[in-house]
Amino acid sequence: MRGKCSLRIRPLSKYAYRELIKDRLFRVSYGVLSNDIHLKESAEWLLRAQSVGIDNGVSRMYSLLSGWGPSYPETTGYIIPTLIEYSKLSSDKRYLNHALEMADWLVEIQLEGGGVMAGTVDANPVTPTIFNTGQNLFGWMAAYKETKDEKYLQAAQKAASWMVDAQDEDGCWSRYHSPFAGYQVNTYNVRSAFGLCGVYEITEEPKILASINKNVEWVLLQQNAKGWFANNCLSKNETPLTHTIGYTIEGLLGIGFALKNETAINAAQKAAEELLSVQYPDGSLSGLYDENWQPKASWVCLTGLAQIAICWWLLYRHTGNHSFKDAALMADNYLKSKQNTESKNPGIRGGIKGSYPVNGSYGPYQYLNWAVKFFMDALMLEQSILKEEMNPFQ
């Protein structure tokens, strides 16, 4: 037994080994500080992740095994609106400037047909994919609204047109799936349909609206009586990640609120309510759930937890149901307790791990840029909603 253990941990770097020991043996948690402190540390981590590469994209992750990774077009796209919002919250234009650098870079690397490449910027072959393209829409439209620079709107329109043309007649997208995901058809692409809403808001193009509605109709067919969604994982549809569950719920909520589609909102709410019932007392969720919402992982997908917290906050604002608020607060506090705000390692300080413990199956031994993004979104939404409650007439 001793030999097997030594073989398993010998390849780990000293940083990875330390984090594994802290997580698995000592269950280390950090201070739950003010949202302002956690947000500042997160935003600075994202700027460091942008600065380490040779382009203006955001590094996919900091790996405890290999260091910073190459830039990731998909998540760079939806990091942009997060940094723009934080720039306003903090009254610091540095974050806006960095966000616009990201948006410019994404315009530069947009593929000729309008799509956005799968994988990191060094991926070979270069292949357009629906999900990544949809996520870039959030960034380009946020940049356009902030600057009114037509280049961002033009990039978004070109991308939206490519997505609409690629859609199947039944409303799903079976073409241009990511070669880095395990399935051809993905329910979580509804978050890309949500990205189309931003373009439709400005252009009011009927074909875009029709595409969004067709995808929602298809997604609703994937939901079972308990609110769980089929065809909804990167690698194992029988037990999807809370990460991809979060994408689906958020996509339905976003479309529902944007288009006043109560059916979409109700479907998202049904899934979110089921997750309330399986939240652990410490505020966390399992990393995987089967069709009966039975947990199938001993680790937490921190990214997915942040996404579900966002959905709970949105539903609290929509329904006034305090169960959503209580669950979201618990989730946010759990996430804050897993962020190291004191490390001298620039890849660790302010970052959010893929999994807790760090060797969990989602992003093992990595601090993921999108985990930081969704963590920031959850905290900023918390602050916004609690401020609304304190000042209801503002």
pLDDT tens digit sequence for 107-138: 999 999 999 999 999 999 999 999 999 999 99
Q: Residue 155: what are its φ and ψ, rounded to 5°? A: -65, -40
Contact in structure between 166 and 108 (CB atoms under 8 Å): no
Grouping H, G, I as helix, E, B as strand and the rest as coil, residue 160 is: helix
Residue 152: what pLDDT?
98
- Please name the amino acid found at residue 173: W
Separation CA 102–CA 123 (nearest Å): 18
Helices (H), the chain: 2-9, 14-20, 35-51, 73-90, 93-109, 130-147, 150-166, 190-203, 206-221, 242-259, 262-278, 302-319, 322-337, 369-390
Domain boundaries, the chain: 28-388
- 10-residue mean pLDDT profile of the chain (394 residues): values are 34 89 94 98 98 97 97 98 98 98 98 98 96 98 98 98 98 92 92 98 98 98 98 96 98 98 98 98 98 98 98 98 98 98 97 98 98 99 96 73
Contact in structure between 375 and 35 (CB atoms under 8 Å): no
Q: Residue 59: what are its φ and ψ, rounded to 5°? A: -55, 135
- CATH number for 28-388 (one of 1.10.10.10, 1.50.10.10, 1.20.1070.10, 3.50.50.60): it is 1.50.10.10
Residue 180: what pLDDT?
82
Angle formed by the axes of helices 130-147 and 73-90, nearest 10°: 30
Residue 3: what pLDDT?
33
Contact in structure between 295 and 289 (CB atoms under 8 Å): yes
The pTM of the full predicted model, rounded to 2 decimals, is 0.96
User: Whose CA is closest to 250, among 240, 264, 260, 239?
Assistant: 264
Contact in structure between 185 and 231 (CB atoms under 8 Å): yes
Contact in structure between 102 and 80 (CB atoms under 8 Å): yes
Separation CA 273–CA 226 (nearest Å): 10
Element (DSSP H or E) covering residue 117: strand 116-117
